[in-house]
């Protein structure tokens, strides 16, 4: 992958100056490239990665396995895009294996997600079945360990 | 009775390490940001730690062969062939040691008769001079210079050769300068070794940490050199495994056997847990190593440009994880610079003189520390340099 994108994926808050210094490029070059990547949709957005427990996030997250009937001509794309457009859907992926789509749904509580699945998702034309799994605890999120203990213990000076 | 009189004359004559002295100052100063370490800030990759834990769960807690686990020696031979382009026999030409430090001690003790000379380059890692001396050898220093980007000139080595010279000792990329050795100069030194029938000991512990698409060249891979070279490498730096204390020496069977004798009666063998972890590192560690190398590379760019912006002239080091800026613009000695930076800005760097007299006028800044600490430390160094500029 592009070294600039790699750095941004590790820490999107680095300024163009900081990115430039690390990549031996000027801040202007970096800023222009980032703007271009935002425009062409390579960079979809920027988010903070939170520990839901510490952030006091009382909402629920569910992974829903969905089986669908692919359409002639459109394959899975049309139905997948239709599902993805719902605000409650955080992620939507076409999968190999026992089901077709994996849909990550966020809701305020259990009932909220249940309502979405029964009223919106299951009732869509082409959806054959759903299996809903609720998230219980987060150990690692987007590459970050929650409850990570420090790995310190280095001496302040060594040869 | 005075106990200090009981200490052997040779050990009495060895001065305390400049780093240890400075270490005590840093401890006393309390809450400092340290660029004074010589080790990665990363923890050993989890897959390596997990392999070590699993071996303990299985009860693998015995001695190993004096040479080291055969499985590890095979992995080492494969890795060395791929990275250094030299073939070694795992059964007779690879010795697993407790770090490169032990390997060095073994090599000097196995090779040196009293008074024989070892040529090495300064500024350098703190142990070379005392290790040679404690093995009854005579250390002979050749300086590397900033105008050569701290590479070693073959012509300078040639001037230092006497009838007593037995060994040329190399360390590239170099701690503390980050200097790398151009292939042409390496070839010049190889020619000298062949011409004067010398042994070459080469500590290539930082070979994985090279930047700007540089390729590592080992002197052992040059024609006619394998048969007179002891190639040393280890797991501390690239694999972030300093505390595992594991290294190795590759050399012709006669030399391996001689070092093994010393190793056998002093260390017996390297710890088995570390050896098992090392197999995992070599077999599956390429991904994490590359990830860490990239992080160091980004930090090097940042550190070098910031130090230069601060008016501390710093050459672009090709490898390792140290920057070695010149601090003469402040009018301070290396020692004063480091001490006052510590007192005034609570940032620890190591005076260049800890690595030999050739280090006067420089300090070593290790950039193996997290980005935020690094940015803060650089900000403070900038303020310090601005306050102390004389010219």
Helix (H, G, I), strand (E, B) or coil at A36: helix
- Strand B138-143 and strand B117-122: the pairing is parallel
In a shared domain, residues A100 and A129: yes
ipTM of the complex: 0.71
- With respect to residue A122, please indicate whether it lies within any of the assigned structural domains: yes
Task: With CB atoms and an 8 Å threshold, state whether B375 touches A21.
Answer: no
A 112-151 → B contacts, CB under 8 A: 151
In a shared domain, residues A35 and A83: no
> In angstroms, how far is CA A57 from the centroid of its own chain?
17
- Strand B138-143 and strand B322-323: the pairing is unpaired
Taking the domain B60-284, which CATH number applies? 3.40.640.10
Q: Is residue A91 less than 8 Å (CB to CB) from chain B?
A: no
Question: If we measure between CA atoms, which residue out of B317, B311, B309 comes closest to residue B365?
Answer: B317
Task: With CB atoms and an 8 Å threshold, state whether B39 touches A7.
Answer: no
Q: How many CB atoms lie within 10 A of CB B208?
A: 20
Task: With CB atoms and an 8 Å threshold, state whether A151 touches B126.
Answer: no
CB-closest option in A21, A151, A156 to B302: A21
As a dihedral over the C-alpha atoms of residue B153, residue B158, residue B161, residue B166, rounded to 10 degrees, the angle is 70
CB-closest option in B36, B125, B302 to A156: B36
| Contact residues on chain A for B125, CB-CB shorter than 8 A | 159
Q: What is the pLDDT of residue B391?
A: 61
Mean pLDDT of chain B: 96
CB-closest option in B125, B298, B306 to A159: B125
A138 DSSP 8-state letter: -
- Average pLDDT over every residue of B117-143: 97
Q: What is the pLDDT of residue B248?
A: 98
In angstroms, the separation between the Cα of residue B389 and the nearest Cα of chain A is: 24
Q: b vs e for B319-353, b when ≥16 Cβ sit within 10 Å of the residue's Cβ?
A: bbbbbbbbbbbbebbbbebbbebbeebbbbbbbbb
Number of residues that make up chain A: 159
Q: Is residue A23 less than 8 Å (CB to CB) from chain B?
A: yes
Q: What is the 3-state secondary structure (H, E, C) of chain B?
A: CCHHHHCCHHHHHCCCCHHHHHHHHHHHHCCCEECECCCCCCCCCHHHHHHHHHHHHCCCCCCCCCCCCHHHHHHHHHHHHHHHCCCCCCCCCEEEECHHHHHHHHHHHHHCCCCCEEEEEECCCCCHHHHHHHCCCEEEEEECCHHHCCCCCHHHHHHHCCCCEEEEEECCCCCCCCCCCCHHHHHHHHHHHHHCCCEEEEECCCCCCECCCCCCCCHHHCCCCHHHEEEEEECCCCCCCHHHCCEEEECCHHHHHHHHHHHHHHCCCCCHHHHHHHHHHHHHCHHHHHHHHHHHHHHHHHHHHHHHHCCCCCCCCCECCEECCECHHHCCCHHHHHHHHHHHHCEECEEHHHHCHHHCCEEEEECCCCHHHHHHHHHHHHHHHHHHCCC
CB-closest option in B19, B299, B371 to A159: B19
The residue in chain A having the minimum alpha-carbon distance to the alpha carbon of residue B27 is A156
Q: Is residue A47 less than 8 Å (CB to CB) from chain B?
A: no
| Contact residues on chain A for B32, CB-CB shorter than 8 A | 156
Task: With CB atoms and an 8 Å threshold, state whether B302 touches A6.
Answer: no
In a shared domain, residues A89 and A129: yes
CA Rg value for chain A: 21
Taking the domain B3-44+287-388, which CATH number applies? 3.90.1150.10
Structural domain total, chain A: 2
Q: What is the pLDDT of residue B256?
A: 98
- Average pLDDT over every residue of B323-331: 96
Share above pLDDT 70 across residues of chain B, in percent, rounded to a whole number = 100
Q: Is the predicted pLDDT of residue B154 greater than 60, yes or no?
A: yes
Q: How many CB atoms lie within 10 A of CB A46?
A: 9
In angstroms, the separation between the Cα of residue A158 and the nearest Cα of chain B is: 5
- With respect to residue A46, please indicate whether it lies within any of the assigned structural domains: no
CB-closest option in B27, B306, B371 to A156: B27
User: Tokens standing for B320?
Assistant: 């390792």
Task: With CB atoms and an 8 Å threshold, state whether A21 touches B371.
Answer: no
Cβ contact B255:B202 at 8 Å: no
In a shared domain, residues A32 and A75: no
Tell me the domain boundaries of chain B: 3-44+287-388, 60-284
For chain B, the residues whose C-beta falls within 8 A of a C-beta of chain A are 17, 19, 22-23, 26-27, 32, 34, 36-39, 41-43, 125-127, 175, 294, 298-299, 301-302, 305-306, 348, 350, 371, 375
Instruction: Give every CB contact of residue A113 below 8 A, 6+ residues apart in sequence.
Output: A60, A62, A88, A105, A106, A107, A132, A134
How many A/B residue pairs have CB atoms within 8 Å?
56
- With respect to residue A44, please indicate whether it lies within any of the assigned structural domains: no
Q: Is residue A157 less than 8 Å (CB to CB) from chain B?
A: yes
Note down pLDDT in tens along chain A; length 159 residues. Answer: 899 999 999 999 999 999 999 999 999 999 999 999 999 999 999 999 999 989 998 999 999 999 999 888 878 999 999 999 999 999 999 999 999 999 999 999 999 999 999 999 999 999 999 999 999 999 999 989 887 766 567 888 887
Instruction: Give every CB contact of residue B176 below 8 A, 6+ residues apart in sequence.
Output: B123, B124, B125, B322, B324, B350, B352, B354, B355, B359, B364
Least confident span in B262-266, B362-366, B387-391: B387-391
CA separation for the pair B373, B369 (Å, rounded): 7
User: Tokens standing for A15?
Assistant: 């300024």
The residue in chain A having the minimum alpha-carbon distance to the alpha carbon of residue B43 is A151
What CATH number does the domain containing A95 carry? 3.30.70.920
Q: Is residue A154 less than 8 Å (CB to CB) from chain B?
A: yes
Task: With CB atoms and an 8 Å threshold, state whether B298 touches A151.
Answer: no
CA Rg value for chain B: 21
| Contact residues on chain A for B350, CB-CB shorter than 8 A | 157
pLDDT in tens, B19-49: 888 888 898 888 899 999 889 999 999 999 9
Q: What is the pLDDT of residue B308?
A: 96
Task: With CB atoms and an 8 Å threshold, state whether A157 touches B32.
Answer: no
The residue in chain B having the minimum alpha-carbon distance to the alpha carbon of residue A21 is B302
Cβ contact A18:B378 at 8 Å: no
Share above pLDDT 90 across residues of chain B, in percent, rounded to a whole number = 93
Task: With CB atoms and an 8 Å threshold, state whether B294 touches A24.
Answer: no
Domain extent, residue A22, equals 3-39
Helix (H, G, I), strand (E, B) or coil at A76: coil
pLDDT in tens, B221-245: 999 999 999 999 999 999 999 999 9
- Strand B33-34 and strand B347-348: the pairing is parallel
């Amino acid at each position: 992958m592009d070294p600039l994108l790699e750095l941004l994926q590790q820490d999107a808050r680095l300024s163009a100056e900081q990115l430039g210094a690390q990549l031996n490029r000027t801040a202007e070059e970096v800023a222009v490239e980032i703007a271009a990547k935002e425009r062409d949709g390579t960079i979809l957005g920027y988010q903070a990665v939170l520990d839901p427990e510490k952030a006091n996030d009382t909402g629920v997250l569910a992974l829903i396995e969905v089986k669908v009937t692919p359409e002639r001509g459109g394959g899975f794309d049309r139905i997948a895009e239709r599902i993805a457009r719902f605000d409650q859907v955080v992620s939507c992926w076409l999968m190999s294996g026992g089901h077709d789509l994996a849909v990550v749904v966020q809701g305020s509580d259990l009932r909220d997600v249940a309502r979405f699945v029964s009223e919106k998702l299951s009732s869509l034309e082409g959806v054959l079945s759903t299996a809903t799994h609720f998230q219980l605890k987060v150990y690692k999120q987007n590459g970050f360990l929650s409850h990570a203990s420090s790995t310190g213990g280095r001496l302040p000076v060594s040869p | 009775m005075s106990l200090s009189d009981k200490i052997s004359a040779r050990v009495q004559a060895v001065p305390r390490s400049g780093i240890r002295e400075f270490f005590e100052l840093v401890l006393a100063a309390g809450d400092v940001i340290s660029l004074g370490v010589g080790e990665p800030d990363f923890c050993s990759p989890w897959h390596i730690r997990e392999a070590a834990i699993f071996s303990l769960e299985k009860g693998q807690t015995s001695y190993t062969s004096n040479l080291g686990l055969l499985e590890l020696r095979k992995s080492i031979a494969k890795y060395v062939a791929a990275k250094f382009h030299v073939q070694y026999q795992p059964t007779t030409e690879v010795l697993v040691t407790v770090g490169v430090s032990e390997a060095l001690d073994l090599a000097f003790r196995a090779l040196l008769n009293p008074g024989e000379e070892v040529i090495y380059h300064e500024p350098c890692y703190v142990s070379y001079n005392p290790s040679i001396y404690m093995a009854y050898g005579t250390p002979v220093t050749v300086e590397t210079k900033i105008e050569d980007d701290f590479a070693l000139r073959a012509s300078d080595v040639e001037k230092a050769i006497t009838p007593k010279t037995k060994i040329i000792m190399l360390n590239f990329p170099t701690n503390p300068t980050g200097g790398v050795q151009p292939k042409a100069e390496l070839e010049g030194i190889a020619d000298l070794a062949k011409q004067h029938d010398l042994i070459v000991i080469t500590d290539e512990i930082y070979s994985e940490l090279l930047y700007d698409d540089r390729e590592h060249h080992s002197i052992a891979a040059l024609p006619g050199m394998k048969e007179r070279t002891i190639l040393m490498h280890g797991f501390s730096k690239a694999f972030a495994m300093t505390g595992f204390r594991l290294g190795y020496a590759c050399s012709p069977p006669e030399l391996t056997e001689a070092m093994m004798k010393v190793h056998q009666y002093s260390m017996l063998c390297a710890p088995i847990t570390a050896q098992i972890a090392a197999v995992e590192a070599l077999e599956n560690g390429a991904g994490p190593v590359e990830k860490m190398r990239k992080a160091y590379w980004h930090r090097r760019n940042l550190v070098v440009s910031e130090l230069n912006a601060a008016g501390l002239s710093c050459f672009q080091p090709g490898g390792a994880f140290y920057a070695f800026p010149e601090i003469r613009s402040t009018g301070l000695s290396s020692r004063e610079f480091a001490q006052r930076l510590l007192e005034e800005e609570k940032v620890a760097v190591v005076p260049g003189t800890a690595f030999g007299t050739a280090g006067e006028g420089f300090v070593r800044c290790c950039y193996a520390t997290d980005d935020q600490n690094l940015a803060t430390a650089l900000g403070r160094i900038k303020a310090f340099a601005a306050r102390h500029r004389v010219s």
